[in-house]
Amino acid sequence: MNMVMQKLFFSPLKWLFRSKAFLFFSFFLNLAFLRGQSENIHFPLAIQKLVEEAYHRNPEILYYEAAIEAAKGQSIQAKILPYPEIVGYAGPWFSSPGQENGGGATGFYQEYEIVQPFFFPGKMDILKAISDKDVELAKLWLDQFKLSLRAQVASLAYQLGAAEINVKATQEVVNQSKELIEFLEKRPKIGIQGLLDLRIIQGSLVDFQRMNREQEQLKKTIISQLNAILGYPPDHPLPLNITPPVEWPAPPNLKMLLEAASRKNNVVRMRAVEIEKAGKAIDAAKLVNIPDFGLGPYFVQEKGTNNNIGPGVIFTSGLPLWNQNRGNIISSEARKEQAISLLASTWRSIQSAINSRLEVYKQATALLSQEPSSFLDRLRSAAYLAERQYRLGAIPVQTFLEMQRQYISSAMILRTAQIDAATAFYDLQTLTGGGW
């Protein structure tokens, strides 16, 4: 396999070890759900609509579909014989006098041949088989792209929903701090302690505004990325209320995932097809050494003293005297060895990626299972309670600020865990070819 194909396969596999970078794994590989596999995952309706939009609008879909048609065209072409060849000779001729009869003669000579080239038996079948493997590879590329596209859309949609909630949560804390600052500034005879509290809250407000700005920027970045996948302008409005579920399926068994990946992972299947194609390329290289032949009719006429006319059959063929095509045979055998070694390397990378993503999924779902769904609501209520109690002087400013920070920090940690669980879930789906 050439270096370009190696980069296309290996670069995404290296990214598998990075949870967020894996979102872009499929874009270079390629890769999607087979139509018979789509029922294995039940996406929320809103995400399913986005996925369908991506299937219809993403320009790269057309690229992979065109690649299939191009490979089919080569498969058709492999069964078509070359054009017949026509050869013609015409011109005057002169016969010099002999010693006995002493008379010369002039005349006109013409000859026409039509030769149809034929491949040696078996060559066309081998070429057709190689082209069929190219068709199979192109279909696997499309399947892989669709599978990764589906995972990208789902993961980005969930990230967008979480970012929107984080924007609202941080803005809520920012507004709460601003209102409290305004309250303290209007309080008469604020005193030294009140002045210091005011400055502490003003300093914390800067940090809360930074968090809000970062979440707002993250949201806009995700909107641009998702719109690019969907084929829309960067500022096209998207649904902001698709949030990842708190509960996910129980972590699967590693052995089961590996078994599913060995059968359904599209990259593994591509490697296997490449080995089969390389084997057929060896057979084709061996057959090339056997010359093709041509067959057809001819017509010849000599017109001079006499008029000689005659048809016949012509047969042409090369003579395999010194070209045994050994160099191409050696190259084809080496390419098969490359394909075999590449399959082993790919499988090791996929095994490592599955193990890594499964661990992320286990950790994220374990964290989510430890906290009830009402946990963040209770923290939010506590933050408002702390603000009211500070106004009354019942708690110090440090307690108020710590409650705000804990609310924001816990909210972001839990939503990050939700995103990690969602991303790892879809990563495992992609790695197993939709088999889990």
Q: How far apart are CA 79 and CA 77, in angstroms?
A: 5
Contact between 145 and 12 under an 8 Å Cβ cutoff? The reply is no
Say what the pLDDT of residue 76 is: 87
Q: Output helix, strand, coil percentages for the chain, rounded to the nearest 5.
A: 65, 10, 20
pLDDT higher than threshold 70 for residue 346:
yes
Return all residues near 434 (Cβ < 8 A) that are at least 6 apart: 33, 34, 37, 38, 40, 41, 147, 264
Q: How far apart are CA 30 and CA 8, in angstroms?
A: 9
Pairing assessment for the beta strands 105-118 and 307-317 based on DSSP bridges: unpaired
Place of tokens 């993961």: 155
Q: How far apart are CA 333 and CA 434, in angstroms?
A: 34
pLDDT higher than threshold 70 for residue 369:
yes
Say what the pLDDT of residue 108 is: 85
Say what the pLDDT of residue 161 is: 92
Over residues 45-68, the pLDDT tens digits come to 888 899 999 999 998 898 999 999
Q: Quick one: average pLDDT of 405-428?
A: 92
Say what the pLDDT of residue 211 is: 94
pLDDT higher than threshold 70 for residue 104:
no
Mean pLDDT of the chain: 83
Say what the pLDDT of residue 149 is: 93
When mean pLDDT is compared over 91-95, 161-165, 183-187, the highest value belongs to 161-165
pLDDT higher than threshold 80 for residue 246:
no
pLDDT higher than threshold 50 for residue 390:
yes
Rounded to 5°, angle at Cα 179 from 174 and 180: 100
Pick the more confident residue, 70 or 1: 70
pLDDT higher than threshold 70 for residue 167:
yes
Return all residues near 315 (Cβ < 8 A) that are at least 6 apart: 293, 294, 295
Contact between 234 and 227 under an 8 Å Cβ cutoff? The reply is yes
Say what the pLDDT of residue 134 is: 92
381: helix, coil or strand? helix
The DSSP symbol for 184 reads H
Question: In this structure, what is the dihedral angle of CA atoms 354, 360, 363, 369, given to the nearest 10 degrees?
Answer: -90
When mean pLDDT is compared over 30-34, 247-251, 272-276, the highest value belongs to 272-276
Pick the more confident residue, 216 or 316: 216
pLDDT higher than threshold 60 for residue 20:
no
Say what the pLDDT of residue 194 is: 80
**The two three-digit tokens of residue 227, written as one number:** 């719109």
Q: Quick one: average pLDDT of 288-300?
A: 85
pLDDT higher than threshold 90 for residue 349:
yes
Q: Quick one: average pLDDT of 277-305?
A: 85
Q: 10 Å Cβ neighbour count for 104?
A: 12
Q: 10 Å Cβ neighbour count for 65?
A: 14
**The two three-digit tokens of residue 202, written as one number:** 């003003």
Per-position DSSP letters for 232-258, written without gaps between them: --TT----------S--PPPPPHHHHH
pLDDT band at 25 (very low <50, low <70, confident <90, very high): very low
**The two three-digit tokens of residue 37, written as one number:** 């596999």
Q: Quick one: average pLDDT of 375-397?
A: 88
Say what the pLDDT of residue 287 is: 83
pTM of the model: 0.74
Say what the pLDDT of residue 100 is: 61
**Cα-flanking dihedrals φ and ψ of residue 236, to 5°?**
-65, 130
Sketch out the chain's domains with CATH numbers.
Answer: 3-96+111-431 (1.20.1600.10)
